[in-house]
Each structure stands twice: as C-alpha cells, then as structure tokens.
C-alpha cells in the first residue's frame, strides 16, 4: 500500500498534478486556469519589460531607416524622443548631426521640391504643431501674384554651383514688391516657441528636416511685435543669399522688418533673385 502511494505521488509530480496543492486563497480566473494547467503565474521584472520595449523601438527605427515613407510623423517623433531624452536641449548643430545634414546641404544638384514635398511639410505642421491652421490655395510651387495684372515674379530652378534658386519670371522694376505680405502669408509655418520647431523637425524625414533647418529664420511679422520662427512652405524658401561677387537685388525698405522684399534695382527676366540673409533679426535659436 505504501509503495502504491509513493508511485502515485511521483506520477503526479511528473504530470504537474501537485499544483493542486497550491493555496486555496488563489480564487481569480487566471489563477484557477493556472492551477488547472499545473503551472504557476510568472511575473516579469521592470528591467526586462524595459528591455523588451527598447528592443521594439530599435526594431521600428531600423524599419524606419529602410522604409522612410511609411512611418507616420507621430511614430517618428515617439521613436526619436525615446532615443534622445535631451532633445529639448539640442541646438541646430545637434539636429544637423542627428540627421546627417552636411552632405545633403552641400549637394548642389538636389531637385526642386515637388508639390507633394511641400504638401508633406504642411501636413506634418497641421499634425504636430497647429491643427487649426489653414493654408491658402495657391500652389506652393509658384510665387504669389503681388499685383492684379502681373504674373508671379519668380520661378524655381537649379542654379549652377548654387543648387535650388529663384529666377525672375518677368522684368521687375526697381521698387516693385517681389516677395512677402505684411503680417505673413498663409504659406508660412509659424513657430512661437523653439520647442515647437524642434518637435516639428523630429516628425520629418531626414532630408526634409535638413531643409527646414536651412530655411528657418527669425522674423517679426509686425513692427514692434514678438519675434517668431518662420519657414516658408513654398518656393520662396529657395531664395539664395548674395555671396562672393554677387550683390543682393531685393531687400526690405525698412530694416526693422524684413517681411517685405522689394527690388532695389531693375531685374531682368530670368535673372537670379538674391537677398542678404543679414537683414533678418538675431535668431531665437
């Protein structure tokens, strides 16, 4: 009889039947299921959970590198802020390093941005910065028609040795308004804080983020008003700085506000339009 009891006990241990001896205080549904299956519930340490989450984020980052057009802006922000906890302390140099902008900015054969390119900049702005902002209906691939009878004053194309540039679409008279609308345009991306621009950059694919870093500038939309960070989401962002032997042919009349750029001499059709970046107020960031 005693030997039969021992054999039965051994068989139960092998089958896991000894789990029936667990405390009767375990009354939850999951606990009952665990008892019936003959196994105890497992608990995972916080460090293991953190490791699993980190591995998941890393996998998404690798997927993002290979499939840049598939990742949503919101997910892109989540991945990058998880990876870089100190992103709010970053300056422009940090972002350029993160996005590996040096080669992109030196490339002088980059194609002129397409309509889809500009639309992506606007969609991400609505998604991550200001969902209520309504852009105007003018295609961002052309300039504003600033007088009733004239064509848009400029068009975009590649300039030898400079890359993407603006050229006069017609003869422009000295004193004529070439770019800008008082108070800003409905194509301007407006950032009232540095953090808003930083988060926007984190939501963009790398080449676009590099372009925005290059195109963003500090501006006062009205005289005496607060300075904000601006990015024009149309071809006006492609206006180059006059450097070397070049001389600016457009500029503001009032140096306290550089939102309006006028021709400071007659500009011939197909001549490159150049300004001096020095007219902008000191940068906020």
Q: What is the pLDDT along the chain (285 residues), one digit of tens a residue?
A: 555 555 455 445 555 444 444 444 444 555 555 444 455 555 667 777 666 766 665 555 555 454 455 578 888 888 888 888 899 999 999 999 999 999 898 888 899 999 999 999 999 999 999 999 999 888 999 877 766 556 789 999 999 888 999 999 999 999 999 998 776 678 999 999 999 999 999 999 999 999 999 999 888 877 778 889 999 999 999 999 998 778 999 998 876 556 789 999 999 999 999 999 887 777 778
Specify if 1 maps to a domain: no
Retrieve residue 74's tokens.
């919101």
Specify if 220 maps to a domain: yes
Residue in this structure with the two tokens 């140099």, named with its chain if needed? 93
Residue 191 structural domain: 68-279
Residues in Cβ contact with 257 at an 8 Å cutoff, skipping those fewer than 6 apart: 220, 222, 223
The total of structural domains in the chain comes to 1
Q: What is the pTM of this model?
A: 0.72
Specify if 125 maps to a domain: yes
Specify if 260 maps to a domain: yes
70-76, long-range: CB < 8 A, 24+ apart = 73/123, 73/124, 73/127, 73/128, 73/203, 73/204, 74/127, 74/128, 74/203, 76/202, 76/203, 76/204, 76/205
Specify if 4 maps to a domain: no
Count Cβ atoms below 10 Å from residue 277 Cβ, excluding itself. 13
**Domain CATH for 128:** 2.170.270.10
- HSE-CB of 72 using CA atoms within 13 angstroms: 5
Specify if 115 maps to a domain: yes
Specify if 10 maps to a domain: no
State the first-to-last Cα distance of the chain, in angstroms, to the nearest integer: 87
Specify if 163 maps to a domain: yes
């Amino acid at each position: 009889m005693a030997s039969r009891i021992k054999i039965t006990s051994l068989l139960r241990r092998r089958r896991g039947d000894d789990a029936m001896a667990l405390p009767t205080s375990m009354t939850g549904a999951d606990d009952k299921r665990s008892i019936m299956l003959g196994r105890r519930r497992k608990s995972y340490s916080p460090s293991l959970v953190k490791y699993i989450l980190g591995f998941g984020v890393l996998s998404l980052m690798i997927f993002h590198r290979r499939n840049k057009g598939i990742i949503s802006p919101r997910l892109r922000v989540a991945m990058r802020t998880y990876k870089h906890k100190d992103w709010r302390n970053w300056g422009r140099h940090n972002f350029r390093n993160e996005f590996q902008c040096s080669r992109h900015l030196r490339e002088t054969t980059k194609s002129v941005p397409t309509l889809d390119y500009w639309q992506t900049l606007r969609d991400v702005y609505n998604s991550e910065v200001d969902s209520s902002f309504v852009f105007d209906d003018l295609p961002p691939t052309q300039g504003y028609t600033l007088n009733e009878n004239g064509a848009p004053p400029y068009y975009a194309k590649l300039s030898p040795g400079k890359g993407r540039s603006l050229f006069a679409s017609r003869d422009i008279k000295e004193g004529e308004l070439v770019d800008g609308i008082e108070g800003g345009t409905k194509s301007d991306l407006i950032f009232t804080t540095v953090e808003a621009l930083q988060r926007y950059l984190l939501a963009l694919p790398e080449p676009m983020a590099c372009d925005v870093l290059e195109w963003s500038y500090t501006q006062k939309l009205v005289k005496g008003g607060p300075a904000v960070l601006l990015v024009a989401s149309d071809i006006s962002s492609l206006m180059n700085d006059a450097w070397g032997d070049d001389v600016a042919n457009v500029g503001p009349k009032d140096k306290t506000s550089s939102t309006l750029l006028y021709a400071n001499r007659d500009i011939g059709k197909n001549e490159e339009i150049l300004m001096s970046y020095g007219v902008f107020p000191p940068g906020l960031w």
